[in-house]
Structure 1
């Protein structure tokens, strides 16, 4: 298996941590990087907020000691603003790699014409990619997308060709449409079709990778050049150890005991406190991770509730101390986690589907980062 080449960057193993709002901050990336190599992307940064030097956004662009390459995902709908943001990243040395978000399916993004809605406007997509690459200097620029808005409005093959023509270093495809959100089953065959259509740059596959075995099956079935892992690593940073082993031809699989999981939970919350500078903020932020870490383990409802409502690190640690440290990794824990339900429709700007080639810059962009 070959390394993933993104411009001058060489990534081994060819594994990417997908940017996830409220998840892939510096502490979580640290836990994942310690398990195995790859490319670990920070939370989504809004280009408008970045160029306006929004204080909250600038604080989100934090990387751990020795974190390399530093990977930043940008979201934008205005070619000029995206270009200014990428130039700022390059000139101020904020990151080593820029990824562009064209895959987010949440309504507050798509109703503004952003995320997974934007590639439908082919010429707008082209303009954004052109400005990003033109302003990036030596930084590689990649993009992440979905199949399209729905099965009647597929865009990924056109978007892949446009990416090649505009100098994008790699494309990642989540094998779902926007209307599917995270429901149903990812269409890996679409990843194979994109790989057949786009031969000049790496194609990465994303969707339903819950184990290293899934990643190997995806790569074998689609011939993709690497994988992007999102929800599969929620509460499971050691998935990256499995992926590194599998990419190297090994079969080792991490199966931590509940005691080892509890130690990771403690460290995760502690790193968040150091990062945020506020223990209360950190513990509140960590609550959403509790269910993911404990998925499949036998833990009483009362203890789960107390862990998920802890207000201080001491509260959290008292609860963790009550867990059975010798309990083995549960069967069936390598299964879907996170949101799984499809949407009834995709929220779009008025008239968005009228002309796929119209260059229309949406009136407003998200003002804050993080999705």
Structure 2
């Protein structure tokens, strides 16, 4: 992390007073109870490296950094992009993968590939994605509404991972909307089936990312699930937000998503905060530019030296990194179209690198939260908590008609 993490040296020496005990996920101990949420197109190996380096820079053990979601069918088919997602760096430990699927047999097969081939040390199941292409198939945040299907998937995944000592966790939302909440029931079911932890994004699928996260629902889940850790997710934009969440809800740790986009150094703040220190990273534009360039280098490495692909994939991060900093519109537009490291370096060197940290303008919401949306669901999905025979057959046909492995 270079210049950014050196800013921690200016803060007071961290005090050895952890806010929470270590997070235990099966046989895995996470000294700092902070989890990087899996985010599609964001939490690849390059970004995880930046976040992990930031956490380690504090001198405290870092948290858990989860790879972006991979579909179970793609893994079973040995899809190249899917296998890349569950390929980790040599210094990544523990390695954490998230799997999505709507058929128990296919999810089990995917989890077995990860566990048997030693591709990850921990598997998380996605029951929280609110995007239409997932929920219209009955997946993500829509799936726990079908109790037996949810039960069968969780049981299949736990059973597939158990012989290899790989713990399985779940991440979910409150439910489909306020009239169709599922999180308390789903949490208890998963706990009974042997998951190692339960994480809740305290919004419904209908909220998408709008409004305010309902932290009280995390407290209610903590009361309902007593034997495994409960983690809270939603509206953690700063280390202070994370501390506030655990104090208000009793959560055993936090899951951080959008708040770290363009701010991998947030994990330095979080590591410090959860270990009783008030040290915080407040980077000027020079430090941000250094991290952004390193991100580009790591992206190229992630794509096996394909510079154009790596730098092109970096474009989405530009606005997040530069939020709040005085950078002209023309330069922002050029950075959003950058196609090589040389061009990136030239554009970054052309910034006014004397600009300091802009305070709260650089924090808070990343991108657009959007507005509430009516969830896209399979026809008749809400008519019953049970899965009808016709739809179940379609699920199995879609998931099991695969080639390869």
* TM-score, normalised relative to structure 2: 0.89
Cα shift readout 1:201-225 (whole Å, capped 9, x = no counterpart):
1000000000000000000000000
In the alignment, which residue of structure 2 is the partner of 1:95? 120
Looking at structure 2, the residues matched to 65 and 326 of structure 1 have their Cα atoms a distance apart, in angstroms, of 36
**Equivalent position of 2:8 in the other structure:** none
Aligned residue for 1:310? 338
**Shift of the alpha carbon at 1:95?**
0.4
Decide whether the 8 Å contact of 2:106 with 2:400 is kept in 1: no
Aligned length in residues: 368
**Which residue is 1:346 aligned to?**
375
Q: Which has the higher helix share?
A: 2
* Partner SS for 1:42: coil
Give 5+ residue unaligned stretches, structure 2.
1-19, 56-61
Farther-moved stretch of structure 1 (148-157 vs 56-65):
56-65
- Quick check: 2:41–2:68 contact (8 Å CA) kept in 1? yes
Q: CA deviation at 1:87?
A: 1.1
Match of 2:291 among 256, 264, 271: 264
What CA deviation, in whole Å up to 9, does each residue of 1:90-147 have, x standing for no partner? 1110100000000000000000000000010011100001000101021000000000
| 1:241 matched residue in structure 2 | 268
Distance 2:368 2:297 in 1: 26
CA distance in 1, matches of 2:177, 2:206: 6
Matched residue, 1:279: 307
1:355 and 2:374 matched:
no
Match of residue 46, structure 1, among 60, 71, 75: 71
SS, match of residue 144 in structure 1: strand
- Spell out, residue by residue over 1:190-244, the C-alpha distance to the aligned partner (whole angstroms, 9 max, x if none): 0000001111110000000000000000000000000000000000000000000
The answer to whether the 8 Å contact 2:208/2:373 transfers is: no
- In structure 1, the residue matched to 2:52 is 33
The SS at the match of 1:143 is: strand
Is the 2:96–2:120 Cα contact (8 Å) retained in structure 1?
yes
1:139 and 2:158 are equivalent in the alignment: no
Equivalent residues of 1:48, 1:367 under 8 A apart? no
Identify if the C-alpha distance between structure 1 residues 330 and 4 changes in structure 2 by more than 3 Å, giving closer, same or farther: same
The aligned counterpart of 1:79 is: 104
| Aligned mates of 2:102, 2:155 — CA distance in 1 | 13
Q: Is the contact made by 1:18 and 1:40 (CA closer than 8 Å) also made in structure 2? A: yes
- Does 1:64 find its partner at 2:89? yes
Structure 1, gaps ≥5 residues long: none
The Cα shift of 1:65 comes to: 2.2
Q: Which residue of 1 aligns with 2:316?
A: 288
- Name 1:322's counterpart in structure 2: 350
Q: Scaled by the length of structure 1, what TM-score is found?
A: 0.97
Query: Is 1:217 aligned to residue 244 of structure 2?
Result: yes
Structure 1's 366 and 179: CA in aligned 2 closer, same or farther, altered over 3 A?
farther
Distance 1:242 1:367 in 2: 46
Counterpart secondary structure, 2:102: coil
Residues 304-356 of structure 1, C-alpha deviations (whole Å, 9 max, x = no match):
11111111111111000011222111121221113301343000011111111
Please give the per-residue CA displacement for 1:146-181, whole angstroms capped at 9, x wherever unaligned: 000000000000000101111011000000000100
Structure 1, residues 63-107: CA drift from partner, whole Å, max 9, x if none?
122100000000000001111111111111010000000000000
Q: Which residue of 2 aligns with 1:7?
A: 26
Q: CA deviation at 1:366?
A: 12
**Which range moved further: 274-283 or 24-33?**
274-283
> CA separation in 2, counterparts of 1:193 and 1:353?
24
Q: Measure how far apart 1:283 and its partner are.
A: 1.1
Distance (whole Å) between structure 2 residues aligned to residue 344 and residue 249 of structure 1: 40
Partner of 1:149: 176
1:59 and 1:202 mapped to 2: Cα distance? Answer: 29
